[in-house]
Amino acid sequence: MKELAKMLKDPNVPESVKTTVQSMNNDGMQLLNDYYDKNSNFYQHAQPEIIANEFYADPNKLKKLYHYTSYEAFERILSSSTFLIGSIHYMNDNKEIKYVYELMKKELKLLGAPNDIILKLEELNTILPDDVYVWSFSENDYSQALSNYGDVALGFDSQEIMEHLASYYSKGKKTLDEYTVGNAYVFPLKVEYDYEVQSKYITTLAHAWYVAHDNFEKDPYDMDEIIKSIVQALHFFSLFFKNPHLRQEEEIRYIIFNINEDNLLKPELYMNSKPFTTCKFTYEILKEIIIGSVAKLKLYAHLYKTIKANIVLTVKSFVSINYFSFFSINIT
């Protein structure tokens, strides 16, 4: 316990603090040491910066990404030059944000944690802060993915997406240090489906959760700080840890984390009672459109109606009318 030993030998640390720390059991003192030890297992598995680097979806390596959407949403996107990006709390699978919580609960039970410590998790109310939004992409343009997740696949250059989102949500700020209320942090993450990888992190956090609560009465200040760091890590993992059964999605997520004073949900708009933030864009960012079989039928029906009205309208002319002409269109 090198870090803890330094603190206990430090003449600037009050004796009352040293006494409080030494009143904990050995696991509690080890956890406090690990909280400050950058090489410890806990530090490496709980620090957001380290986690973000580990699961960062590098836009320089992922050259092309696809966003799946319905044909109706596709038309709205083109006509408005705007993407609607949904809240993490209103994803298609409402069990999604509870997944990490369930993993944590399972690990605590395996550790033999008493029910009162397990129930502390439920006091969090929600695993995630409210004002967080997710724009989902896939690395593939498979026809199976089209049938599962949408009628239309929109292709983008991943580096351009990152640059555009970062610029859009910076609102003129030059560096992250200048960010304040009204700005949003944007970062791309690879969704992790591997249970063994997930378990390495969650097991570490569960053990720390158990130990911190077990020693809370002895050293409430330090243990509270550690618990807060665990909650922060859980928030982060909830953004991109998903059930292994969904691994075929190959999902990449761009996370938009709004900065506000009270961390409450503050969307730009609601549609069908669901909260969204928005992102305006120009035609250059869209590189490819893939029309699936369902959307193809809707497109043909639309063309039939326009032909009957003596207005011959093709997909490309519709796109050109809306100032989008620099990409390829594929009909599967």
pLDDT reported for residue 308: 46
Q: What share of the chain is helix, strand, coil (3-state, %, to 5)?
A: 50, 20, 30
Residue 258 has a CB neighbour count (10 Å cut-off) of: 22
Domain ranges of the chain: 1-37, 44-331
pLDDT reported for residue 142: 62
pLDDT reported for residue 148: 61
Tell me, yes or no, if the pTM score tops 0.85. no
Taking the C-alpha atoms of residue 307 and residue 117, their distance in angstroms, rounded to an integer, is: 67
Taking the C-alpha atoms of residue 43 and residue 33, their distance in angstroms, rounded to an integer, is: 10
pLDDT reported for residue 103: 94
Token pair recorded at residue 30: 């080890």
Buried b (16+ CB within 10 A) or exposed e, 226-249: bbebbeebbbbbbbbbbeeeeeeb
Taking the C-alpha atoms of residue 332 and residue 329, their distance in angstroms, rounded to an integer, is: 10
pLDDT in single tens digits along all 332 residues of the chain: 888 898 888 889 999 999 999 999 999 999 999 999 999 999 999 998 899 999 999 988 888 899 988 888 888 888 898 999 988 877 766 677 788 989 999 999 999 999 999 988 877 655 556 788 999 998 876 655 565 656 788 899 999 999 899 888 888 887 878 888 888 888 899 999 999 999 999 999 999 999 999 999 999 999 999 999 999 899 889 889 998 988 777 889 999 988 887 767 787 788 888 888 888 888 788 888 887 765 555 655 555 455 444 444 445 555 544 444 445 555 55
Residue 252 has a CB neighbour count (10 Å cut-off) of: 23
pLDDT reported for residue 94: 60
